[in-house]
Structure 1
Amino acid sequence: MITLRSCALALTAGMAATVLLTACEQNAPEPTTTATAKITLPPLSGRYPVGTTDLHLVDTRPDPWHPADKRELMVTVTYPAQRTGERAAWMSPGVAAAVDQRTAGSPENGLKPGTIDWAGTKRQASTSVEVDRTAGAWPVVLFSHGFGVERELNSVRTDDLASHGYVVVSISHTYDASVVEFPGGRVVTRDASPDTAYLATSVDARVADTRFVLDQLTRLNLGENPDAENRTLPTGLPGALDLSKVGMFGHSLGGYAAGEAMYQDQRIGAGINFDGGMSVGKVGEIVQHGVDRPFMLVGADGVDPETGRKFEHSHPADFDTSWGQFWTNQQAWKRDLHFDAAAHMSFTDLQVAVPQCASLLTEEVRQSIVGTIHPARSVSAQQDYIAAYFDLHLKHLATDLFDGNNPRYPDTRFIP
């Protein structure tokens, strides 16, 4: 039985992102003519410099929310590069403006746009740089964001994974992400109040999006240009994808989508769900049947969105049964990795941004977004576990990181 609690859990990601914007602006001093808070994203932990490009992809299927229109997506492709260059913006102008303004539309909050320099923040990835082909073709990992969250708010992990020798493809799920900017400055936002039916449609759309993106990556790898505007691809990108080695990870609803896509598409060989329930509108197929390939759950300390009750696990049996059902039915390699004192949005770039907004936030708000886990240790552990997981299952590189709790990462533990 699906309850309103399941729906509330799926909506947590979008609400938490809004809380950050609200809190940073609500508690900020009067803004000057320039932004008062700047965000610095952490350095890469891998050996390769990283390049990035965006693709506008248009499918033949109708959009599930706008059936008169074809389904269209924006994706970011991040890859090992030969060199560094001009660093990419964290957010495009339209996305940055929407992020800055969306909570300023509520007069009762007294919000002030311009408090944070969203547009001025730079990723570690560079634009217009050649793909490193010295190691041949790279394994591919797809990423799916949380409901109501932009793909851009997950750049720290996707850029870092690329630095370990992966082509990482981050998908914006249109009308599910809070905002998506298409070429020419056209901005699309989610245009309905989400409920259980909306979220169930989102999961189905995300699975179809994922399969479509994989098809377009196959075209790209064969030398075609799938970009709707036929914009120039980075030198060396065609042929640089090893599509026999594909993984996927996602956050919140994106973690659920990663599991469902993996169940439906054998091309995906390994998956990770970061803190996402696996039943909205219906119990997931991966929950009912498991998959014959590796899958890892990663969780934070939990809070019931309806009651405020706190748990030491984000998906205990008396709160959300989907993780327990999946654990019973998953027959291949599996792990349940817990981050103590982390919160749901610790697995996004807010883990980096919130501590840098400390002077603008109350302690209560900060803890509600990213918990009390040590920020730098949290980011470092996420980077290491993600890279090691895909190294193990896509590159078949040995590691002891999943053999048991590791003293190098005092904030993490495996749940049996």
Structure 2
Amino acid sequence: MGSGGRAVAAVLMAATAVLGAVGAPAAVAAVAAPEGAKAGQQARAWLPEPTGPYPIGTTALHLTDTAREDPWQPGHRRELMISLWYPTSRPAGPADRAPYMTPAAGEHFGGPSGVGLINYGAEPGSTDWSGIRTHARTDAPALPGGRRPVVLYSPGLGDPRAWGTALVEDLASRGYVVVTVDHTYEASEVAFTDGELAASVLPGMLGQPDLDIGAVLRKAMAARVDDTRFVLDQLAGLGGRTGLPTGLAGALDLDRVGMVGHSAGGFTALQTMHDDPRIAAGINLDGQLHFPGPDGRNGVFLPTVAEDGLDRPFLLMGTGSDDSGDYRRQPGWNALWQHSTGWHADLTLTGSRHGSYTDGQSLLPQIARQGALTADRLRADVGDIRPGRAELATRSYVASFFDRWLRGHDDHLLDGPSPRFPEMAYEG
């Protein structure tokens, strides 16, 4: 990476730290390389198997908000890509699993200008991101059996919607319809169905010497909330859309909607929940709720969700990063906690780092073993927790929360500390 790329990476990392910082290095367990990896080849990796009883289908939709100008591209209507993940009747075979990323998106994500790649430090061109396969069958018919609760997923700042696929697939395999949202021109890249690739504007913006980082972040968060509310509107009208997989429109129960997001997506989940009563329950995966700015008290700007609190259930899930963990350590989390009347809890995944709630927890150790990522950077991104334990804990607590508040099934995992997950510290 050249000096310009390193400068962009440094500024971007400083900005993303506002919404969930990468912590200090620690020891990490060795990870076996994928079978067949050879010197000189691009690193390859796979996603962990979903744990639920249902096979998964997926479909992608291109949406246009004709009533809203794109905040990053004046004069253009706001366009988004979303994916729906849902139970189906027949599992995908090895030859028909949906790709993790399109070839164009994977090449950009893995190249020197890929914002997502800069965030996670892999060597440009070292990894075959588009060669990764999901466990879902593209455009498979939805499993009959009535309407299912819906969960929205929003990724971190600069990350594409694909970067949470392991968690999303697991929820879908348990019977949820999950909708993932790309936040166009902020995400590292968005591949539209017509072949267009919309790259992030953030690297160019963040290179400006007098840039107000807090203002940029607040603009991004406002766009994300607007995106999410628009997606909810569009989901209500899916029945009139042609070309959808059989049975999918009728499978969505929009009276039972939850939302989960990582980092900036965690902010998006809770702020949208504050602004829109259609979201009944939300999870924030290591996303801070405060911003820098001269217009805030003592240089800290709190969004309305933190100042007003929430009257519906929410879960905060922190990491072992230096400024994460206990809600009392973050002004936004603390304000939200004090002002909320709905059920809430705070969990900390000990030994983890900011990337542990993303696909980075499973994918980065694999590519590091093949030389695509340094050991120090791997430790900074996902800590020293064993990947399998981090994945299992994250999936179990997220599913337990949504099962309780969207389905009325309480396994009591969220009642307090659990001997099943000693690595998860609980603050009720």
TM-score, normalized by length of structure 1? 0.86
Q: Partners of 2:404 and 2:361 in 1: how far apart?
A: 26
Q: Partners of 2:256 and 2:419 in 1: how far apart?
A: 31
Q: Which residue identity lines up with residue 264 of structure 2 in the other structure?
A: L
Q: What is the DSSP-based 3-state SS (H/G/I as helix, E as strand, rest coil) of the residue aligned with 2:425?
A: strand
Structure 2 counterpart of 1:80? 87
Structure 2 counterpart of 1:295? 314
On the 8 A contact 1:103/1:111 being kept in 2, the answer is no
Q: Partners of 1:272 and 1:177 in 2: how far apart?
A: 20
Q: What is the DSSP-based 3-state SS (H/G/I as helix, E as strand, rest coil) of the residue aligned with 1:185?
A: coil
Structure 2 counterpart of 1:19? none
On the 8 A contact 2:21/2:322 being kept in 1, the answer is no
Q: CA deviation at 1:113?
A: 4.7
Q: Partners of 2:140 and 2:122 in 1: how far apart?
A: 39
Which whole-Å deviations, capped at 9, do the CAs of 1:125-167 have from their partners, x for residues lacking one? Answer: 1113110122x00100001110011111110001111111110
Unaligned runs of 5+ in 1: 17-28, 305-310
Q: Is residue 196 from structure 1 mapped to residue 214 from structure 2 by the alignment?
A: yes
Measured at CA, do residues 43 and 293 of structure 1 come closer, stay the same or move farther in structure 2, by a change above 3 Å?
same
Unaligned runs of 5+ in 2: 1-11, 25-36, 207-212, 294-300
Which whole-Å deviations, capped at 9, do the CAs of 1:19-64 have from their partners, x for residues lacking one? Answer: xxxxxxxxxx9974xx431111111111111100000000021011
The correspondence for 2:225, drawn from 207, 214, 223, is 207
Measured at CA, do residues 10 and 243 of structure 1 come closer, stay the same or move farther in structure 2, by a change above 3 Å?
same
On the 8 A contact 1:89/1:123 being kept in 2, the answer is yes
Q: What is the DSSP-based 3-state SS (H/G/I as helix, E as strand, rest coil) of the residue aligned with 1:119?
A: helix
Q: What is the DSSP-based 3-state SS (H/G/I as helix, E as strand, rest coil) of the residue aligned with 2:341?
A: coil
Q: Percent identity?
A: 41
Q: How do residues 107-118 of structure 1 correspond to structure 2 at under 5 angstroms?
A: 113-118=124-129
Q: CA RMSD in A?
A: 2.6
Structure 2 counterpart of 1:352? 362
Measured at CA, do residues 91 and 314 of structure 1 come closer, stay the same or move farther in structure 2, by a change above 3 Å?
farther
Structure 1 counterpart of 2:72? 65
Q: How do residues 3-402 of structure 1 correspond to structure 2 at under 5 angstroms?
A: 7-10=15-18, 32=40, 35-60=41-66, 61-85=68-92, 86-102=96-112, 113-134=124-145, 136-192=146-202, 193-194=205-206, 195-220=213-238, 223-225=239-241, 232-280=243-291, 282-303=301-322, 313=325, 316-317=328-329, 320-359=330-369, 360=371, 361-402=373-414
Q: Partners of 1:324 and 1:15 in 2: how far apart?
A: 20
Q: Partners of 2:21 and 2:244 in 1: how far apart?
A: 32
On the 8 A contact 2:285/2:316 being kept in 1, the answer is yes
Q: What is the DSSP-based 3-state SS (H/G/I as helix, E as strand, rest coil) of the residue aligned with 2:46?
A: coil
Q: CA deviation at 1:104?
A: 8.6
Equivalences, count = 379
Q: Partners of 1:276 and 1:112 in 2: how far apart?
A: 26
Q: CA deviation at 1:357?
A: 2.1
Structure 1 counterpart of 2:33? none
Q: Partners of 2:232 and 2:402 in 1: how far apart?
A: 18
Q: CA deviation at 1:314?
A: 6.7
Q: What is the DSSP-based 3-state SS (H/G/I as helix, E as strand, rest coil) of the residue aligned with 1:402?
A: helix
Q: Partners of 1:355 and 1:410 in 2: how far apart?
A: 22
Measured at CA, do residues 336 and 350 of structure 1 come closer, stay the same or move farther in structure 2, by a change above 3 Å?
same
On the 8 A contact 1:31/1:114 being kept in 2, the answer is no
Q: CA deviation at 1:119?
A: 1.1
Q: Partners of 1:117 and 1:6 in 2: how far apart?
A: 27
Q: Partners of 1:301 and 1:243 in 2: how far apart?
A: 35
